[in-house]
Structure 1
Amino acid sequence: MASGEPHTTRHDNAGKGTGRHAVESLTGHLLVAMPSLRDPNFERTVVFVLAHEADGALGVVLNRPTEALVGDILPGWESLLREPGVLFEGGPVGTDSAICVARARAGVAGFVGFSRVMGQIGTVDLSRDPARVGQRLECVRVYHGYAGWGAGQLEQEIEENSWLVFEALPSDPFRTQPEELWSLVLRRQGGLTAAVANFPPDVALN
């Protein structure tokens, strides 16, 4: 099951689409776990896809903040964080590593250490001096670990209806109440997709 994975682009016809996709890069898209996905690493998660190519994909879970303070691990970066200013659980792979997702200020075309994902959003090399790159950034989140998929694995999980796929809004990776993101993304789709947000945590109770 998902440990990180790929993309595609075919919309279903429920509501605005169930978000299911099937043949293009999903870089910059959201993967929203269906209630039937019971893997504790991904249950009711929203994953932001950072990269997706033929050999696989990787992303970070957006809605699992921890209680760990980024400043205790990466001094200097804490002043750049969007609230809540804590470390996020990005996924089950590489949990001893950290990934920074940030939104560059309007007009910033890019800089050394910034890898664009979509629009002004990209990843930032955490070995850079935060005092130097901080003036170019307006929103920052730091994750430990990530989700990763091998070639064809994510596509298969999407076909199995484990994930819904939607375009991300620029604000999604930086919500101040990330725990509400799963329901928020589903409800804004409207139609049958919005109703998925009402499923109880234990689908056996529905």
Structure 2
Amino acid sequence: MAEAIHVGGLLVATPLLDDPNFRRSVVLILEHDRDGGTLGVVLNRPSQISVTQVLPVWDSLVTGPPVLFEGGPVQTDSALALAAVPSGQEPLGWRRLHAASPSVARLGTVDLDAPPEILKGEIAQMRIFAGYSGWTSGQLESEIAEGAWYLVDSEIGDTFAADPASLWRRVLRRQRGELAFVATCPDDPTMN
């Protein structure tokens, strides 16, 4: 488990977190400031809405599945895009996440108002999220202390997982010690 909240870390919902916005979710932390709060996106909630329906100019750059992901319950009418660059380059229209974690060293946000042509051939993978997850200063720390979240390190393949539905179990299964056993928890923890 990770020691502290950090950009590039993952919040993994505990089996007892029953908020429908976050049940069995895996959230990638994009920003964290003790005074300003925390912002992230849920990585394992693909929607039924294709990128073509909402942002057709970006469809050819999106990594499958080619749908919008539900990034969280905040500003669900706005979009946020994450993309990985294949090298250390910083192309126009892309802004690197400020993280020390090697798993997100090539990850950044995409300016969806920029012309997609400037990023074509510059990015390796991309996902678009409707909305985001946000916590005010101290709120996330309180939720972690109450047992709502596990804080773990991310791995390179987490952000663009080909099978987002299995991400919650996969992330937990790779943890050390007793936390790995949580991956076997049934969907309804009262049935355990």
TM-score of the pair, normalised by structure 1: 0.86
State the partner residue of 2:189.
203
Q: Displacement, 1:191?
A: 2.1
TM-superposed deviation, 1:113: 2.8
Secondary structure of the residue aligned to 2:172 is: helix
Query: Which residue is 2:56 aligned to?
Result: 75
Please point out which of 117, 123, 126 is paired with 1:137.
123
Does 1:159 find its partner at 2:145?
yes
Question: Kindly tell me: are residues 20 and 105 of structure 1, through their superposed partners in 2, closer, same or farther at Cα, counting changes over 3 Å?
Answer: closer
Query: 1:28–1:50: 8 Å Cα contact kept in structure 2?
Result: yes
Point out where structure 2 has 5 or more consecutive residues left out of the alignment: 98-103
Q: Name the CA distance, whole Å, in 2 between partners of 1:21 and 1:159.
A: 13
1:42 Cα deviation from its structure 2 partner: 0.2
Paired residues of 2:94 and 2:108 also in contact (CA < 8 A): yes
- 1:94 maps to 2:80: no
Out of 14, 24, 27, the residue aligned to residue 47 of structure 1 is 27
SS in 2 for 1:173: coil
User: For the residues of structure 2 that align with 1:20 and 1:37, how far apart are their CA atoms?
Assistant: 19
1: CA distance, partners of 2:180 / 2:109: 30
Give the whole-Å Cα distance in 2 for the aligned partners of 1:137 and 1:72.
22
Please name the residue that 2:101 is paired with.
none
Q: Distance in 2 between matches of 1:67 and 1:157?
A: 29
User: Aligned in 2, Cα 1:77/1:125: closer, same or farther, shift over 3 Å?
Assistant: same
Equivalent residue in structure 1 for 2:157, among 151, 171, 175? 171
Asked if the contact 1:76/1:131 (under 8 Å) is kept, the reply is no
Q: Where has structure 1 moved over 3 Å in runs of 4 or more?
A: none
Root mean square deviation, CA, Å: 1.2
Structure 1 unpaired stretches of 5+: 1-18
Match of 1:76, SS state, is helix
Change (3 A) 1:41 1:134: same
Question: Identity over the aligned pairs, expressed in percent?
Answer: 46
State the AA in 2 paired with 1:33: A
TM-score, normalising length from structure 2? 0.92
Q: Deviations over 1:12-62 (max 9, x none)?
A: xxxxxxx2644xx51111100000101010000000011001210110000
- In 2, Cα distance between equivalents of 1:196 and 1:32: 11
